[in-house]
Each structure stands twice: as structure tokens, then as C-alpha cells.
Amino acid sequence: MIWLRITGLTLLALSCSIGGICHGARYQQRISAIERARTFILTLRHTLRFTLAPPTQLLTILQSDPVLSDCDYLNAAAERIGQTDFSSAWAQAVQNSAEPLDAPERGLLVSVGEILGTSDLDTQLGQLGLLSDQLDAILSEARVSCEKNRRLSATLGSLLGLSLAVILF
């Protein structure tokens, strides 16, 4: 009977530890989403520079890029373009995206819809470059925060599991 209790408490401690590790993995998912957004903006800027395509055609070109296949807001925006203008469709797609992005990153992505097709090429490229720089700064902060919070989550999960095991023993 005591072995059953020890096994149960060990499983409880391990499950709390795994829960802490899984919670810490969310921070890494956010970093991946920011990196995808940055790659999207850099690819968009490059494509715009060499094709001079209108926003809807740029979206079609970027959808076919395998590097950007995980950006769900590209497909959502393409589906909504027939219903509304590009800027509104883009804003709705980014706001409703399942990407684990915080408000600042979403705001930067929404501004892409306001930039494209509203001014000359040099202005658009300059504004997209600024967005890329801002995402770089956010990415640097997120990496530092991720490392700290990931370790903290794993440690707290382990401590919680051990504490519960000691209390219940």
C-alpha cells in the first residue's frame, strides 16, 4: 500500500514538473511567432522592391512562399480580400490570428496593411524597414524574457510538485 502511495506522489510531482516545463514552452512559441512575423516583413519588403506589385498580388506571392506557410494571417487575409478592402481585411486577419503574439507585435503587423499601397515605393520600403527594426527590438526583449521565465516556470513547477508530494505524504 505504501508503494502505491509513493508512486502516486511521484507521479504528482512529475506532472507538476512537466506542467511547469510546458508553461515555459509558451514563451518559446511567442519567440517563434515574432521571428515568423519578422521574416514576413523582410520577405514582403524584398518582394515589394523587386515586383512593385499591388498589395493583393503581394499577398498571393507571399502565400506561395514555403517559409511563410505557418503565418495563418496570410491565408485569412487572402480569404477576406474579396469582402472588403486590403487594409481592413489585413487588420481583421492579424487580430483574429491564432499566432501567440502580444498586442505590440499585432499592432506592428496591422500597420503593414496601412502602409502597403498608400504611398510611393521608397516610403513603403522605409516604413517596412522601421517595422522590421521594431520587431528586432521586441524579439531581443522577448528572448531575454523567455530565458528567464522559462527557467522560472520549470523551477516553480518542480517545487510545486515536490511541495504537494511532501504535504500529502
pLDDT of residue 23: 82
pLDDT at 145 over 80: yes
Look up the domain containing 93 and give its range.
2-168
45 versus 158: which is more confidently predicted?
Answer: 45
What ranges make up the beta strands (E) of 37-126? none
pLDDT band at residue 164 under the 50/70/90 scheme: confident
Opening angle at CA 22, ends 20 and 24, nearest 5: 70
Please say whether the beta carbons of 158 and 20 come within 8 A: yes
pLDDT in tens, 80-100: 888 888 899 999 999 999 999
Long-range contacts of 103-106 (CB under 8 A, 24+ apart): 104/138, 105/33, 105/34, 105/37, 105/135, 105/138
Cα 89 to Cα 58, 62, 64, 77, 115, distances in angstroms:
14, 16, 19, 5, 14
pTM, 2 dp:
0.82
Instruction: Tell which residue, 45, 43, 39, 34, has the closest CA to residue 128.
Output: 45
Q: What is the count of structural domains for the chain?
A: 1
